[in-house]
Chain A
Amino acid sequence: MADDALVQPDPWQMLRRHTRARIALGRVGSSLPTREVLDFGVSHALARDAVHLPLDTEALQQTIERLGFDVTQVASRAADRHTYLLRPDLGRRVAPEDVAHLQAGARTPAPDLLLVVGDGLSSLAVARQAPLLLAELKARWPQGWRSGPVVIARQARVALADEVGEALGARMVAMLIGERPGLTSPDSLGVYLTWAPRVGCNDAQRNCISNIRPEGLSHAAAAHKLLWLAREARRLQLTGVALKDESDVPEIGDAGVRQLGHERGAP
């Protein structure tokens, strides 16, 4: 369909096998060829849809229940997506009626590791990756650890899990959340582990596992890392800067655990 004679190709196509960066695109004059403008447009549309499409929480609940977990749902104080994007403070807090609901359902003894699944900035990431990660966690679950219900949270930021964990008296909480979508990774899941969760915890008190998706960190590897960190957190009674990931010998830029920086936006 395309008249390739109009496009000046870049004769370094062979370098494309080294990176997913958009290299060797060719040009018309000095501008992008039509096919590349369209390809970029498709990627951007998918990334935006990942942000704006609501998470199908009923379908997700059924999927997670089929894995053998109890499930409960909460909403944040951000009433809609627009508010969520403009008011991160509201996305970090559980809606008051849901806090009461959680507290009423709290059981003793309390969970050792509570799992929260939040839509964050990519509902696509949660729908695709969260059930697969939960299945891997289930298969490796430490003997004798209580999990409590999996809590699905709508319009949620990372810190919302602190309030959920506090309401249920959890010793630690892992927030599985859709990461800020990139053009080449609209469906990437992140996990944030926090010891002794309570409202007001800050990011320096968490450990993060990022880039969980088939093309990045596998679900099995992510589950292994999370449980390694959780065992260490239990031993040291803390998470965050003082808990270093040694779950494997880290290679350069291993898509693994990193302390949270200020320059990379967490959901």
Chain B
Amino acid sequence: MLARGVARGNFLAYQTSVGGFNFRFDSLRALMACATPARSGDHLAGLAAATDGERMAARVCLAEVPLKTFLEDLLVPYETDEVTRLIIDSHDARAFAPVSHLTVGDFRDWLLSDAADSATLAGIAPGITPEMAAAVSKLMRNQDLILVARKCRVVTAFRNTVGLPGHLSVRLQPNHPTDDARGIAASMLDGLLYGAGDAVIGVNPATDSVPALMTLYDLLNEVIQQYGIPTLSCVLTHVTNQIQAMEKGAPVDLVFQSIAGTQKANESFGINLGILDEARDAALSLKRGTVGQNVMYFETGQGSALSANANHGVDQQTCEARAYAVARRYQPLLTNTVVGFIGPEYLFDGKQIVRAGLEDHFCGKLMGVPLGCDVCYTNHAEADQNDMDTLLTLLGTAGITFIMGIPGADDIMLNYQTTSFHDALYLRKLLGLRPAPEFEAWLKRMNIMDSDGQVQPVGSQHAMLQNLPRHLLAS
């Protein structure tokens, strides 16, 4: 059953037989797609393996492919795609050297070996392209994705330190369908009193008018200042709006943008690498970080390239890993795979969402990107809270950098379910995980957390309830 490469021009076609059936894959792109665990988005794109036998044949062939091949047989053309150019032109050959002789299958074995410790993995990260990470993930079981990701350490900082071993940060997401200041402040207070908000306090606004966004920046900033919280704010609007807000003097901590893994998909988001360069430079010039200067926050998700008709015949998981190459360029504080938001035509059910969440976290961490996960689903997906508990718990064991926190898991603005403040407490309690150290010190100072690191009961006389944000005092 040994796989054979057949010369086809400069590159190879791949073929093998499984159980007496012969399978042939005419390109590396096709091989990657067919090797991917089944998911609805690859079927929608017409790229998925037709049978389980074909899928395993693809994996058998993929295991034989040298990692070096991914530097030569480019899945998305170099000439027409700036993400490919970024990946190739910034590839660190010296970092790649320790694994440059390996095939994809050998690379899986090497990653799981004890030789691949945290320092070694951090050392090779700049040499790992998204296609290499995606390829090896396709040969890995869920437990492999968890075990290797846990060894990868990516530490970032702005006003607190994110990603230290044994820590779990939470993005407080106080969304409101009409951006009502009282509604947003009420959800912020709810989350803070539950110990959430160390990753960022980040609101998805309903509006995209810059004057209204300025009001939101002031609201978030005022609450952070009022309670002296060692955290930061973000308004998740288009990057060009954030550049305008900075020009007008808004207190912008973290710059957000949705990104994808191909130039054409990024164009559908109205961005390119140049715009992101400009935004990062603007944010750095504000010098608002205290313990670090990681000023970017990205969101991604499998299926975004296909939904923009911009996947170039590449499977959705590989496209997603390419988005992490975009993220990596900007040394982000946080990168968030919004795994179940896009809908069942890309990830149909709990099983597909769980697998995708583990793949994304692994690929991001292997590439040196601070991956968190919006563990989530929509009401038209075949998923429920139990699936979210499963993925949340698995990602906790895998060392996820951060998760979302929202009141009662119910986002009343975006109409989907993500993880709650209670869910974050569950994970911290179950696995002994702690908030970012600077934020934990604040929680203890505010009598929200006790000396053992557990949240304590908050009475009506609590200082924050006696001293409400002014937005909540107006009737």
Listed in ascending order, the chain A residues whose CB lies under 8 Å from chain B are 8, 10-12, 15-16, 18-25, 27, 29-32, 36, 40, 43-44, 47-48, 50-51, 85-89, 121, 179-186, 188, 211, 216, 250-255, 258, 262-265
**Residue in A20, A180, A184, A253 whose CB lies within 8 Å of B179:** A253
Please, which residues of chain A bring their CB within 8 A of the CB of B411?
182
Listed in ascending order, the chain B residues whose CB lies under 8 Å from chain A are 40, 43-44, 174-180, 182-187, 189-190, 193, 205-209, 212, 215, 258, 268-269, 304, 307-308, 341-345, 348, 378-380, 384-385, 406-412, 414-417, 420, 422, 425-426, 429, 454-455, 457-460, 462, 465, 472
Q: How far is the CB of A207 from chain B (nearest CB, A)?
A: 15
Once bound together, how far apart are the Cα atoms of A183 and B407, in whole Å?
Answer: 13
In the A-B complex, list the 3 residue pairs whose CB atoms are closest, starting with the nearest: A22-B408, A182-B415, A30-B425
Q: How far is the CB of B298 from chain A (nearest CB, A)?
A: 13
**Residue in A8, A87, A180, A263 whose CB lies within 8 Å of B380:** A180
Once bound together, how far apart are the Cα atoms of A163 and B317, in whole Å?
Answer: 33
Q: How far is the CB of B448 from chain A (nearest CB, A)?
A: 12
Given A30-B429, A86-B345: A19 and B378 within 8 A (CB)? no
Once bound together, how far apart are the Cα atoms of A265 and B380, in whole Å?
Answer: 11
Please, which residues of chain A bring their CB within 8 A of the CB of B457?
8
**B415 contacts A181, C-beta separation under 8 Å:** yes
Q: Can you sample 19 A-B contacts with CB below 8 Å?
A: A11-B465, A12-B193, A18-B182, A18-B185, A19-B187, A23-B189, A25-B422, A30-B422, A43-B410, A50-B379, A85-B348, A181-B380, A182-B411, A182-B415, A183-B379, A252-B212, A255-B178, A255-B206, A262-B304
Residue of A nearest to B338 (CB): A263
Please, which residues of chain B bring their CB within 8 A of the CB of A216?
177
Once bound together, how far apart are the Cα atoms of A21 and B345, in whole Å?
Answer: 28
**B410 contacts A21, C-beta separation under 8 Å:** yes
Once bound together, how far apart are the Cα atoms of A21 and B426, in whole Å?
Answer: 20
**A21 contacts B412, C-beta separation under 8 Å:** yes
Residue of A nearest to B212 (CB): A252
Please, which residues of chain B bring their CB within 8 A of the CB of A19?
176, 180, 182-184, 186-187, 412
Please, which residues of chain B bring their CB within 8 A of the CB of A20?
412
Please, which residues of chain A bring their CB within 8 A of the CB of B178?
251-255
**A40 contacts B180, C-beta separation under 8 Å:** no
**Residue in B193, B308, B465 whose CB lies within 8 Å of A262:** B308
**Residue in A18, A24, A47, A251 whose CB lies within 8 Å of B379:** A47
Residue of A nearest to B205 (CB): A253
Given A20-B412, A262-B258: A10 and B187 within 8 A (CB)? no
**B345 contacts A87, C-beta separation under 8 Å:** yes
Q: How far is the CB of A37 from chain B (nearest CB, A)?
A: 8
**Residue in A31, A51, A185 whose CB lies within 8 Å of B426:** A31
Given A11-B458, A30-B455: A262 and B410 within 8 A (CB)? no
Residue of A nearest to B460 (CB): A11
Residue of A nearest to B379 (CB): A47
Q: How far is the CB of A189 from chain B (nearest CB, A)?
A: 13
**B429 contacts A15, C-beta separation under 8 Å:** no
Please, which residues of chain B bring their CB within 8 A of the CB of A31?
422, 425-426
Please, which residues of chain B bring their CB within 8 A of the CB of A265?
341-343, 378
**A10 contacts B422, C-beta separation under 8 Å:** no
Q: How far is the CB of A218 from chain B (nearest CB, A)?
A: 14
Residue of B nearest to A251 (CB): B178
Known A48-B379, A183-B379, A253-B207; further 15 A-B contacts with Cβ < 8 A: A10-B458, A11-B460, A16-B186, A18-B183, A18-B186, A21-B406, A30-B455, A31-B425, A40-B408, A85-B344, A121-B380, A180-B378, A253-B206, A255-B206, A263-B258
Q: How far is the CB of A128 from chain B (nearest CB, A)?
A: 17
Name, among A21, A211, A251, A253, the residue most crowded by chain B CB atoms within 10 Å (CB to CB): A21
Once bound together, how far apart are the Cα atoms of A154 and B408, in whole Å?
Answer: 34
Q: How far is the CB of A9 from chain B (nearest CB, A)?
A: 9
Q: How far is the CB of A221 from chain B (nearest CB, A)?
A: 14
**A22 contacts B193, C-beta separation under 8 Å:** no
Once bound together, how far apart are the Cα atoms of A50 and B193, in whole Å?
Answer: 34
Q: How far is the CB of A261 from chain B (nearest CB, A)?
A: 8
Q: How far is the CB of B429 from chain A (nearest CB, A)?
A: 5
Once bound together, how far apart are the Cα atoms of A76 and B474, in whole Å?
Answer: 51
Please, which residues of chain A bring their CB within 8 A of the CB of B412?
19-21, 182-185
**B422 contacts A211, C-beta separation under 8 Å:** no
**B212 contacts A253, C-beta separation under 8 Å:** yes
**A252 contacts B465, C-beta separation under 8 Å:** no
Given A51-B379, A252-B179, A255-B177: A264 and B460 within 8 A (CB)? no
**B385 contacts A44, C-beta separation under 8 Å:** yes
Please, which residues of chain B bring their CB within 8 A of the CB of A8?
457
Once bound together, how far apart are the Cα atoms of A8 and B422, in whole Å?
Answer: 13
**B177 contacts A36, C-beta separation under 8 Å:** no
Please, which residues of chain A bring their CB within 8 A of the CB of B258?
262-263
Once bound together, how far apart are the Cα atoms of A16 and B207, in whole Å?
Answer: 23
Please, which residues of chain B bring their CB within 8 A of the CB of A252?
178-179, 206-207, 209, 212, 215
Please, which residues of chain B bring their CB within 8 A of the CB of A254?
178, 207
Once bound together, how far apart are the Cα atoms of A10 and B304, in whole Å?
Answer: 39
Please, which residues of chain A bring their CB within 8 A of the CB of B425?
27, 30-31
Given A180-B415, A183-B410: A24 and B426 within 8 A (CB)? no
Once bound together, how far apart are the Cα atoms of A20 and B459, in whole Å?
Answer: 23
**A262 contacts B460, C-beta separation under 8 Å:** no
Once bound together, how far apart are the Cα atoms of A201 and B363, in whole Å?
Answer: 36
**A23 contacts B426, C-beta separation under 8 Å:** no
**A253 contacts B465, C-beta separation under 8 Å:** no
Please, which residues of chain B bring their CB within 8 A of the CB of A32?
408, 420, 422
**Residue in A12, A22, A86, A186 whose CB lies within 8 Å of B189:** A12
